[in-house]
Amino acid sequence: MTLTNAAPPAEPTDAKADGSARERREAKARRRRALRISLAATIVVVVLLGLAGLAWYLVSDVEDLGDQNVVATQLLATSSGRVADPGTRVALSAQIAEADDLLDEPFLTRLTLGTADSSASLAAASDAVRASMVDLARSEVTSARESFAGAGKRAEKIYAATEGKGVDDDVRSRLREALDSGTAVDDAANATLAGTDLADLGQAEHDLTTSRSVITMATEALTTAQDAVTCPAPDQVWDPDSGLLPDEALAPIPWAPDFVVRADVLDGLIALDAAYQAEFGQHLTINSAYRSYASQEELYDPSSPIAAPPGCSNHGLGLAVDIGGGVETFDTVQYTWLKANAGDHGWTHPAFAEPDGRVPEPWHWQSVLAREN
């Protein structure tokens, strides 16, 4: 028996090999397609996420600008009349308007333009307004300190001048307490000037103003008390400077250089004299003008109302003159002329010296700056 009748080898082995190759190729192709699809999907997701992020950023950016604009608008309203430089508010108003215009633009326009520049400009304009508000607040504190210092200086003078003059010690003590308390207030206000907090600066200005008022009231109370002790007549006013004016505050009367008056009333007296000369052909006759405290002490006689006590006379303030040459008598032409014309030049005949006054003195004339109760 030979092998020629044996069946040929079957082909399934080759078919399976070919089939496996195709399957591998197809599987590989499927993996490639899946990879491409996955990659494409990833790209789409990334793009979508990027667009979403960009959209969120743009929307957030616009919302930030909107919020910033609201705050700036409130600042513009609250800063009215509260800035040292009004130009800063004008600039802020313009930046608010620009921001409003940008916020009203379409989305794509805002995307193109962006909001960073507008936001930065708005922030700078707002900062300038706040800085100007601080400048004004500091200026107000400084002015309040100057006013406070003036009140304190006068109070210290009156406190010193009333020592040993018979006034109630309790009244003087209240002024001393007000002055000492005021010193602490002023020190605190001075320290506040170094800061930028508007509330602190405002409080400092308020405290200074309040303290100044307390000192002023205590000063007036002491002045009134001393006046009651020193000046017996109701039309007399005690003044701590009476008879104690410095030389630089006084000026000689040109045609009567032995007499002086307060320098700031001399021009009016010169003008009155010129008018008097034109009418009568001669200068006003000056018999008395400024009197020192010592000279007033020599003149004062408690039994006579003619001369006021030292500290109570307008002569002691350089605001009064005694005039002769016909004026020393009521109803003369000279006296009548002065009554009609002295007021035009800042001088007057006071009520107490009128014919029906407490002390009829036709010769006594004083500046309109002189005080009377």
72-129 pLDDT, tens digit per residue, is: 999 999 999 999 999 999 999 999 999 999 888 887 776 677 788 899 999 999 999 9
pLDDT band, very low/low/confident/very high, at 366 (cuts 50, 70, 90): very high
Say if pTM beats, i.e. exceeds, 0.75.
no
Q: Select the more confidently predicted residue: 5 or 326.
A: 326
Region 177-198: mean pLDDT is 97
- Cβ atoms within 10 Å of 198's Cβ, excluding its own: 16
Long-range interactions of 76-85: CB distance < 8 A, separation 24+: 76/129, 79/129, 79/132, 79/133, 82/133, 82/136, 82/137, 83/129, 83/132, 83/133, 83/135, 83/136, 84/132, 84/133, 84/135, 84/136, 84/139, 85/132, 85/135
In this prediction, residue 112 carries a pLDDT of 73
In this prediction, residue 304 carries a pLDDT of 81
Quote the CA–CA distance of 268 and 274 in Å, as a whole number. 10
pLDDT band, very low/low/confident/very high, at 59 (cuts 50, 70, 90): low
pLDDT band, very low/low/confident/very high, at 367 (cuts 50, 70, 90): very high
Region 33-46: mean pLDDT is 56
Tell me the per-residue pLDDT of 284-319, one tens digit each, with 9 for 90 and over. Answer: 999 999 999 999 999 998 888 788 899 999 999 999
In this prediction, residue 336 carries a pLDDT of 97
Region 22-34: mean pLDDT is 67
Quote the CA–CA distance of 68 and 198 in Å, as a whole number. 21
Which helix (H) or strand (E) segment holds residue 170: the answer is: helix 169-192
Which helix (H) or strand (E) segment holds residue 348: the answer is: strand 347-348
pLDDT band, very low/low/confident/very high, at 235 (cuts 50, 70, 90): confident
In this prediction, residue 20 carries a pLDDT of 72
Q: Are 129 and 79 in contact (CB under 8 A)?
A: yes
- Which residues, including other chains, have CB under 8 Å from residue 28's CB and lie 6 or more apart? none
Report the percent of the chain where pLDDT is more than 70: 84
Mean of the per-residue pLDDT values for the chain? 88
Q: Select the more confidently predicted residue: 152 or 19.
A: 152
Residue 210 has pLDDT above 80, yes or no: yes
Region 264-274: mean pLDDT is 98
SS3 (DSSP) at 34: helix
pLDDT band, very low/low/confident/very high, at 52 (cuts 50, 70, 90): very low
Q: How far is CA 41 from each of CA 28, 31, 35, rounded to the nearest angstrom?
A: 19, 15, 10
pLDDT band, very low/low/confident/very high, at 18 (cuts 50, 70, 90): low
Reported in sequence order, the residue ranges of 86-200 that DSSP labels E, i.e. its strands, are none
Q: Select the more confidently predicted residue: 50 or 326.
A: 326
Q: Could you tell me which of 319, 296, 145 has the C-alpha nearest to residue 230?
A: 296
- If you search the block for the tokens 């320098």, which residue do you land on? 263
**How are strands ordered across the β-sheet holding 320-324?**
285-288, 320-324, 364-367, 347-348
